[in-house]
Structure 1
Amino acid sequence: MGIVGWGAIGRVVGTALAAGVVPGAELTRVTDNRSRPDAPVPQSAIAEALEVCDLIVEAAGHAFVREWGAQVLASGTDLLVASTGALTDDALAAELHATGPGRVYFTGGAVGGLDLLQAVRGLGDLTEVRLTTSKLPGTLEQPWMDAELLERLRTCEEPVEVMCGTARDVPARFPRSTNVAASVALAVGNPDKVEVRVIADPGATLTRHVVEAAGPHGHYRFEVNHAPDPANPATSQVVPHAVLRGIGALTGRKGQIL
C-alpha cells in the first residue's frame, strides 16, 4: 500500500505500518509534494505508486481526493480517505462511487458513535442532528476570514462562535479542521441535515466534539475530548490511529470494522 501525505497523520501511520503494527499491511510507497528523507520506503509520484499498490491511504487533504480520487479507483487501487470533508461534495462523491474497479472507504477520524448513527438510519430518518466543535482559535484561522473576524479570534477571552451551517458548508470553509462534520454527515446519510457549530475557545486544552441526534426512535449524544497533535494542533492526536484501525479492517484483522 501507499500513503499520500507525509505530515502529522501520514508520518504516524507510515511509521507504524513500517514497524509491522498492522499484520498483513505492507507499506511500499510514500507520495508527498516535498522530499521526505525520513520516509521508511521509497518516495514516488502517485502514478508510479498506483502501479505497485493495492491500497492508497489519503492523508494529504481534500485537494488530492478531488484531483486524484477517481484516477486511483479507475486504476483498480482501493482508496482510504482521511479527509472526509471532500466527500460532502455530491458530484465528487457520486463520481467516486461510480468509478472502479477500485473501492473507496473512509475513516471516522476523531469522532465516535458513527456505527450507531448508521444503524439508526435503518429505523428511519433522524429529525435533528447537531455537531458542536470547539478548538483553539489559532487552529481555525482561514484565508477567507475578514479582518474583523480574525481580530475577534486573536483577542477573544471567551468562547466565540465562528460559523454555524450545515455539514456541507462547514468542511468547505475549514478543510483542515472539520472532517468530523463530514464523517457525521456520511453516517447520517445527508450533510444538509447536520447542523454544525464551530466554536473558538481560547481556554481549550482539548479539542471537543459533541454530537446530538434525535428521532422518533431515540435520542443520542456523544462527546469526545481529544488532545491535539503537537505537530499540527488542527488535527486530533487520535486521527492517525483511527486510520490504522481502518487499514486493519481492510486487511481482515479480526474484530475491526470501519
Structure 2
Amino acid sequence: MNIGIIGTGNIASYLLEQINQNRMASGRITAIFGRNEEAGQRLGEQFEADFYTDLQGFLKEPLDIVVEAATVEAARIYLKNVVADRKDLVVSSVGVFKDAAFLDELKTLAESSGTHIFLPSGAIGGLDVLQSAKAAGGLKRVQITTRKSPASLGLEADEEQVVFEGSAYEAVEKFPKNVNVALVLAIAGIGAEKTIVRIIVDPDVERNSHTIEAEGDFGRMQLQVENNPMPDNPKTSLLAALSILAVLQNKDHALKIGN
C-alpha cells in the first residue's frame, strides 16, 4: 500500500516514523505534500519519501490512500482533488465538515469515483455505539463534555468554569481548532445541530478529557477518555495520531471489528 500524506507537522512526522521506520502498517508513506519546504524536505530525506509543493505532482504518484494531516483551511482546498483523482482519503481535520453541504458533496464525489473516505475517531471513542444506536433511528440524545486547561484555549481562569454550552455546530464556529471531536461525534450520531457540547476550563486539569453521553432505544452510554498529549506537541492528543495509524493498519484487513 502506497500512502501519501498532506501536511508536514507533528502528526505527519509521527506517522512517517511509525510506518516507514517502525513498520507499524503494511505499506509505506511514499509521498508528502505541503507548503513548508524546509519541514517537508527534512521529513522526505529522513524517511525516504518524495516531497512535493505541487498538488498535481503529488497526486500523480501511484498512491492507494492519502492522509490529510494539515489544517481545516488546507482540507477545504485539497480534499476534492484527492477524491476526484480516485484515491481513498483519511481526513484528520474533521472541522472542515462543519459545512454539511461540503461533506455531502465529497461523499457524492467519492461514490461516483469508487473511493472511500475515512474519518478517524480522533481523541474519543464510542462512535461504533452511536452508529449502531442510530441504525434504526432510535438515537435520541448525544452530549460531549470536554475539559481542558484554560491555556489550551488561550484563556485565563483561577477556577473551573463552563466556557461554552451549545450545539456542535456552534462549538466548531467558536473553537475551530479545539473541537474536531465534537464534529466527528455529530457525524456519527444525530448531527451537528442536535449534538450538545459543553466545554469546561479547569486550571487543575492535567490531561484533556472527553465525556460522551448518549441515550436512545438501545439504552444509555457514558464513556470518558483522558488523553495524553503527543510527546512533541502538547496541543495534540496522542490518541488522535494513533486513530489515523489504526485506520491505515486496518484498511485492508479481511476481519472487520465493529461497524
2:133 to 89, 96, 120: 120
Aligned ranges for residues 76-225 of structure 1 at < 5 Å?
76-100=86-110, 101=113, 102-141=115-154, 153-154=155-156, 156-225=157-226
Matched, 1:43 2:43: no
1:65 to 72, 75, 78: 75
Matched residue of 1:28: which SS?
Answer: strand
C-alpha distance 90-182 of structure 1, shift in aligned 2 (>3 A)? same
Higher mean C-alpha deviation, range 236-245 or range 169-178? 169-178
Cα distance in 2 for partners of 1:253, 1:5 equals 30
C-alpha distance 219-257 of structure 1, shift in aligned 2 (>3 A)? closer
Cα distance in 1 for partners of 2:256, 2:134 equals 23
2:21 to 19, 31, 50: 19
- Ranked by relative contact order (alpha carbons within 8 Å, sequence separation 6 or more), the top structure is 1
Q: Contact (CA 8 Å) 2:142, 2:190: kept in 1 or not? A: no
Once the two structures are TM-superposed, the CA of residue 239 in structure 1 deviates from its matched residue by 1.2
1:31 to 30, 33, 50: 33
Once the two structures are TM-superposed, the CA of residue 192 in structure 1 deviates from its matched residue by 1.2
Q: Contact (CA 8 Å) 1:249, 1:257: kept in 2 or not? A: no
Aligned ranges for residues 243-258 of structure 1 at < 5 Å?
243-252=244-253, 254=255
Q: Tell me which amino acid in the other structure corresponds to 1:44.
A: Y
Cα distance in 2 for partners of 1:76, 1:183 equals 23
Once the two structures are TM-superposed, the CA of residue 203 in structure 1 deviates from its matched residue by 0.9
Cα distance in 1 for partners of 2:6, 2:252 equals 19
Could you give the per-residue CA deviations for residues 57-81 of structure 1, whole angstroms, max 9, x where no partner exists? 0110211221111111111111100
Cα distance in 2 for partners of 1:197, 1:206 equals 17
**Could you state the TM-score of these two structures normalised by the residue count of structure 2?**
0.88
Cα distance in 2 for partners of 1:173, 1:27 equals 34
C-alpha distance 230-160 of structure 1, shift in aligned 2 (>3 A)? farther
Aligned residues: 246
Cα distance in 1 for partners of 2:60, 2:163 equals 44
Partner of 2:230: 229
Cα distance in 2 for partners of 1:25, 1:137 equals 40
C-alpha distance 202-249 of structure 1, shift in aligned 2 (>3 A)? same
C-alpha distance 214-256 of structure 1, shift in aligned 2 (>3 A)? closer
Q: Tell me which amino acid in the other structure corresponds to 2:129.
A: L
User: What is the aligned-residue RMSD (CA, Å)?
Assistant: 1.8
Q: Contact (CA 8 Å) 1:29, 1:49: kept in 2 or not? A: yes
Matched residue of 1:17: which SS?
Answer: helix
Matched residue of 2:29: which SS?
Answer: coil
Cα distance in 2 for partners of 1:136, 1:92 equals 32
Once the two structures are TM-superposed, the CA of residue 8 in structure 1 deviates from its matched residue by 2.0
Q: Tell me which amino acid in the other structure corresponds to 2:148.
A: K
Q: Contact (CA 8 Å) 2:8, 2:43: kept in 1 or not? A: no
Cα distance in 1 for partners of 2:27, 2:194 equals 37
Cα distance in 2 for partners of 1:104, 1:214 equals 27
Q: Contact (CA 8 Å) 1:248, 1:256: kept in 2 or not? A: no
Matched residue of 1:205: which SS?
Answer: coil
